[in-house]
Each structure stands twice: as structure tokens, then as C-alpha cells.
Amino acid sequence: MSVAWGVAGIAAAWLGFAYVGYPLTLYLLARFAPRPLRRGDVTPPLSLILAVHDGADELAAKLDNTLACTYAGARQVIVASDGSSDGTEALARAYANRGVELVALPERRGKEAAQAAAIARATGEILVFSDLSARLEPDALTAIVRPFADPAVGCVSSEDVVEGGSGEGAYVRLEMALRQWESEAASLVGLSGSFFAARRELGDPWPDDLASDFRTALEAGRRGLRAVSEPAARARFGVTEDAAAEWARKVRTVRRGLAVLFRYRALLDPRRGRLALAVWGHKLARFTSPFALVALLVASAAAAATSAPAAALLAAQLAAYAAGLWALARPSDGAGRLPRLAGYFLLVNASMLVAWAYHVSGRRAVTWAPTRR
């Protein structure tokens, strides 16, 4: 019994740090000891890079949206085709008279490899990356460069706006609040892959085997620069209707995230100060929380036969999991917000367990399949 309660206590404390303690610490730091950030109306030359694999059905809308964004400075738009076999490259060439350039890899090598090829062609001081599914607001480019008025800023993340009332939407809104506190109190340890910007020097080198949105934030921190969020730079996208595609995306994202975390594990050193706190709280604690959830479930089940509090704890967990599974199984039934959030939480944590299995076995994820929204 004592062993079971000890395991349950450790697991609960770790989960409490990941989902309550770390966000609360960030909030207090952001409120009472923020790191100042200077914003300004700067217009450095931009190179906007769209990595695409077989995206002909979405590319025209994305290019029209991008070209419609207002920006007072010089702007270069590059479509980086990752071995596309549909009409992606022909469509990109059709926009050449509007200033769009094409960089085409002859074979599929992965998103980061396509981005690296585009960076070699880029002429801008600031590199901007966006996904096909993200629709930028008209002033998004103007907004995302404003923090670069501060020389201590290395990269800037947009704010994701998920349209719809799914569990994914609620999860993203919570994540955006956490990211804003992290930006004010420390430094981001992950950028929105759908839309982010970085100083050109962070593109040298540009590893093709590490997730660029996560790696760029950590590389900025390693070099003594900040990664910050710009709430005025907004990118909108719809929820994922295909549950299988969303599951595959989550597993792939965590697999790639684990590879970055292990490569940059030196940033866990407490001497890194607030940056280390962010890596511990936002990444390591999150990535290991599924193991704490399993330990809490097993420990409470072991003690439930002889302990009423343990039985109540077990019942609460089973009820939450049942609600989440129901919301995942019947998404079209309009489940309430809490069941939808529980379902997405369950999906995320289950995908982390699968991603860990891939990572431990040495199987890395390099190529990517863009999520259709």
C-alpha cells in the first residue's frame, strides 16, 4: 500500500508540475518579473518559404493569401517542392509573373530538406516559414517582424487560431496562453510550424533531420537569443476532420520533437536559468507525462481494494478516460467541451507513448505528410 501511494504521489506531482505548476510559475514570472521586449515598425527584407509536398489543391489559395498580405519592405516568396509528383511545381511556375520562385527537389527528402534548399536561394534578412493550411491575416507579415526591432530576439512565432469547437481548438487556445506567458517570462521552446520567422543567421546550418519549428527556438536559446510570440501575427486554420490523419500527425510531431530534445539536452542545465525551466516544463514534463498517467492509474488500481480514497481516484480517472474515448469515437455528436478536451488530451498522450516506442527503437521521422484541414 505504501509503495502504491508513493508511486501515485510522485506521478501526481509530476503531472501537477507539467499542467499546473509550470504554467502558474510562468504566469507569475510574466506578471511580476517579465523580460522586456522592444517592438518597432521595422521592415527588413523577407524571404517567405512554403515547403510543399503534393499540395496542388491548396497552393493557389495559399499563394493568393500570402501575396495579399501587406508589407512595406522587400518580399521574396519561394515555393520549395519536396519531390512533388502532382501539379504543385507547374502551379508555382504559373505565379512567376507575380514574383513567386520555385525550388524543386527531384525526390522526396523531407520538409526541412526542402526548407534548406529554399534558404540557399533566399535573399532576405528574415526567413519566414508557413504551411499550406495556414491562412495569414492581412497584416500578419508586418506584425511578425515587429519584435525583430529588439536585437536580442532571434525568432518569432505567430499565434494559431483554430476555427471550430473541437478538442483540438480548446487545446490550441490553452497552448497559446502558455506560449504568451513563456514569451514574456523566458523564451519560447517551440514555434508555430504553421507560421514563424527567424533571423537569417539561424538558418546556418539548417539540419534536415530535425523539426524546424522546435529546433529553431532552441537554437536561438543556445546562441543567447530569445524566441518570442507575437499575438498580432495570426494564422488561421480549420480543425482536422480525419481522426487517422490527426493521430499520424501527432505521433510524427512527437517523434520529431524527441529527436530535437535529445539533441539539445544541454539546455536542461539549470544554469541556463529561465530557458532551462521552459525546456523542463514545456517539453520534458509534457513528453514524459504519459508515463506518469500510466503510473498513477496502475498505483491507484493497486490500492483501490483496500483504500476508499484510492478507489475514488481510480474511478475519477476511468470516468475521464471514458468521456474522452466517447468524444473521440463520436465526434459528430456534438460532445461537450470537457469531453472533447479529455478526448484530445487522451489522443495527445497516447500518441506520445507510441512516439517514445519509435524513438527508443531508433526509428526517426524525417519525411512528412502535410495535414489536410
pLDDT category, 263, cuts 50, 70, 90? Answer: very high
- In the block, cell 509528383 appears at 85
Q: What is the percent of the chain with per-residue pLDDT over 70, rounded to a whole number? A: 93
Q: What is the mean pLDDT of residues 272-280?
A: 97
Q: Span 24-46, mean pLDDT? A: 96
Provide mean pLDDT across the span 216-242: 90
217-134-68-231 Cα dihedral, nearest 10 degrees: -50
Say how many CA atoms lie within 13 Å of 115 toward its Cβ. Answer: 31
**Measured distance CA(148)–CA(151) in Å, rounded:** 6
Per-residue pLDDT tens for 312-365? 999 999 999 999 898 888 765 556 778 888 888 999 999 999 999 999 998 877
pLDDT at 227 over 80: yes
What confidence score (pLDDT) does residue 373 get?
Answer: 54
SS3 48: strand
Classified as helix, coil or strand, 188 is coil
- Cβ contact 81:88 at 8 Å: yes
More confident residue, 27 or 165: 27
Provide the H-helix boundaries in 136-284: 140-144, 167-185, 212-222, 243-263, 274-278
CATH code reported for the domain at 46-157+187-226: 3.90.550.10
- Judged against a pLDDT cut of 90, whether residue 239 lies above it is answered with no
| Summary mean pLDDT of the chain | 92
Question: What's the grid cell of residue 300?
Answer: 491507484
Q: How confident is the model at residue 370 (pLDDT cuts 50, 70, 90)?
A: low
**Residues 161 and 233 sit within 8 Å (Cβ to Cβ):** no
The per-residue pLDDT for range 75-122, each reduced to its tens digit, is: 999 999 999 999 999 999 999 999 999 999 999 999 999 999 999 999
Q: What is the mean pLDDT of residues 173-194?
A: 93
Q: What is the pLDDT of residue 248?
A: 87
Domain spans of the chain?
1-34+240-368, 46-157+187-226
Name the strand (E) or helix (H) holding 104. strand 100-105
Determine which of 143-152, 165-174, 196-205, 283-292 has the lowest per-residue pLDDT on average: 165-174
The mean pLDDT of 149-165, rounded to a whole number, is: 88
pLDDT of residue 338: 82
The pTM (predicted TM-score) of the whole model is 0.91
Query: CA Rg, the chain, in Å?
Result: 21
pLDDT band, residue 242 (cuts 50/70/90): low
Written as one letter, the residue type at 50 is L
What is the per-residue pLDDT for 238?
72
pLDDT of residue 165: 54
Q: How many CB atoms lie within 10 A of CB 90?
A: 11
Residues 6+ apart with CB under 8 A from 140: 69, 158, 195, 233, 234, 235
Which one, of 372, 366, 329, 325, lies nearest residue 345 by Cα?
A: 325
User: Do residues 186 and 35 touch, judged by C-beta distance below 8 A?
Assistant: yes
Residue type, 72: A
CB within 8 A of 10, min separation 6: which ones? 292, 295
